[in-house]
């Protein structure tokens, strides 16, 4: 059974703080993704990675960066948090580039004050 975990369910930060969101998967998946979920906007892709130390921009990368030092871990970094980054953040993973099923983590509800 695939397990994707995220470091926090709820997080409250102040404007300008540096924020780290961690995601870990235990099934040796190659692909990992970060999305943000906002009402009426669906799931929007921020960044993804298909290998260690590899990353690609998604549809809304501005204000975010990522790190993938180990295959099982994919971190999302908000260098200087802003109020418009208040959102639900979902991590996902899939086995290979060519396989399609994405498995999601439980999400982190981030509030930036």
Partner 1 sequence: GENVEQHPSTLSVQEGDSAVIKCTYSDSASNYFPWYKQELGKRPQLIIDIRSNVGEKKDQRIAVTLNKTAKHFSLHITETQPEDSAVYFCAARSSSNTGKLIFGQGTTLQVKP
CB 85, min distance to partner 1, A: 19
Which residue in 102, 93, 92, 83 sits closest to 30, CA to CA?
Answer: 93
Beta bridge partners of 87: 110
Which residue in 17, 8, 2, 22 sits closest to 74, CA to CA?
Answer: 22
Build a one-symbol-per-residue string for 60-89: x at contacts with partner 1 by CB under 8 A, - elsewhere. ------------------------------
Q: How many CB atoms within 10 Å of residue 27?
A: 13
Distance (Å, whole) CA 11 – CA 47:
20
Pick 31 or 81: Cβ nearer partner 1: 31
Distance (Å, whole) CA 60 – CA 87:
13
- Interaction with partner 1 in 13-42: which residues (CB under 8 A)? 31, 33, 35, 40-42
Kindly give the pairing relationship between strand 56-57 and strand 103-104. Answer: unpaired
56 touching partner 1, by CB under 8 A: yes
Pick 69 or 100: Cβ nearer partner 1: 100
Please select the residue that binds partner 1; options are 25, 102, 110, 112, rule is CB under 8 A: 102
Contact positions vs partner 1 (CB under 8 A): 4, 31, 33, 35, 40-45, 48, 50, 56, 58-59, 90, 94, 96-102, 104-107
């Amino acid at each position: 059974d695939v397990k994707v975990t995220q470091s926090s369910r709820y997080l409250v930060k102040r404007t300008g703080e540096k924020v780290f969101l961690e995601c870990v998967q235990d099934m040796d998946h190659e692909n990992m993704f970060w999305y943000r979920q906002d009402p009426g906007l669906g799931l929007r892709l921020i960044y993804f990675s298909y290998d260690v130390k590899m990353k690609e921009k998604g549809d809304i990368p501005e204000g975010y960066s990522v790190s993938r030092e180990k295959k099982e871990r994919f971190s999302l970094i908000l260098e200087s948090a802003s109020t418009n980054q208040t959102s639900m953040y979902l991590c996902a993973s899939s086995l290979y580039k060519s396989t399609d099923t994405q498995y999601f983590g439980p999400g982190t509800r981030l509030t930036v004050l």
